[in-house]
Amino acid sequence: MSEQRTKIAILGAGKMGTTLLEAVLGRGVWRPEEVVATGRNEERLALVGERFGVRTTTDNAAAARASDLVLLCMKPQNLVTLLEQTRDALTPEHTVVSIAAGATTMDVEAGVAEGTPVVRAMPNTPVRAGAGMTALCGGRWAVARNVELARGVFETVGRTLVLPENYFDAVTGLSASGPAFLYIVIESLAEGGVKAGLPRDVATELAAQTCLGAGAMVLATGSHPALLKDDVTTPAGCTTDGILAIEEGGLRVTLIKAVTEAARRAGELMN
Ligand X SMILES: NC(=O)c1ccc[n+]([C@@H]2O[C@H](COP(=O)([O-])OP(=O)(O)OC[C@H]3O[C@@H](n4cnc5c(N)ncnc54)[C@H](OP(=O)(O)O)[C@@H]3O)[C@@H](O)[C@H]2O)c1
Query: Of 8-16, 186-194, 195-203, 248-256, which segment contacts ligand X by CB under 6 A?
Result: 8-16
Nearer to ligand X, 99 or 149 (CB): 99
The answer to whether 75 contacts ligand X (rule: CB under 6 A) is yes
Distance CA 130, CA 124 (A): 10
Nearer to ligand X, 15 or 252 (CB): 15
The continuous run of DSSP H or E covering 204 comes out as: helix 200-221
The answer to whether 77 contacts ligand X (rule: CB under 6 A) is no
Cβ partners under 8 Å of residue 88, min gap 6? 61, 113
Q: Give min distance, CB of 128 to ligand X, in A.
A: 8
Among 179, 27, 160, residue whose Cα is nearest residue 99:
160
DSSP state of 79: H
Among 11, 67, 74, 70, residue whose Cα is nearest residue 38:
11
Nearer to ligand X, 41 or 209 (CB): 41
Nearer to ligand X, 100 or 108 (CB): 100
The answer to whether 16 contacts ligand X (rule: CB under 6 A) is yes
Which one among 10, 36, 73, 171 touches ligand X, defined by CB under 6 A? Answer: 73
- C-beta nearest to ligand X: residue: 14
Nearer to ligand X, 78 or 233 (CB): 78
Residue type, 238: C
Q: Give min distance, CB of 113 to ligand X, in A.
A: 19
Nearer to ligand X, 82 or 150 (CB): 82
Distance CA 240, CA 224 (A): 18
Map the footprint of ligand X across residues 84-123, applying CB under 6 A.
99-101, 122-123
Question: How many other C-beta atoms lie within 10 A of the C-beta of residue 101?
Answer: 18
Q: Give min distance, CB of 24 to ligand X, in A.
A: 15
Burial (Cβ within 10 Å: 0-12, 13-18, ≥19) of residue 266? buried
The answer to whether 64 contacts ligand X (rule: CB under 6 A) is no
Map the footprint of ligand X across residues 18-57, applying CB under 6 A.
38-41, 44
Cβ partners under 8 Å of residue 163, min gap 6? 135, 136, 137, 171
The answer to whether 74 contacts ligand X (rule: CB under 6 A) is yes
Distance CA 263, CA 51 (A): 36
Nearer to ligand X, 122 or 150 (CB): 122
Nearer to ligand X, 103 or 149 (CB): 103
Query: Of 9-17, 112-120, 140-148, 239-247, which segment contacts ligand X by CB under 6 A?
Result: 9-17
Backbone angles phi, psi at 157, to 5 degrees: -125, 25
Map the footprint of ligand X across residues 148-187, applying CB under 6 A.
176
How many residues touch ligand X under the rule CB under 6 A: the total is 28
Backbone angles phi, psi at 73, to 5 degrees: -115, 25
Among 67, 113, 74, residue whose Cα is nearest residue 90:
113
**Using only C-alpha atoms, what is the Rg of the chain?**
21
Which stretches of the chain bind ligand X, using CB under 6 A?
11-17, 38-41, 44, 60, 73-76, 78, 81-82, 99-101, 122-125, 176
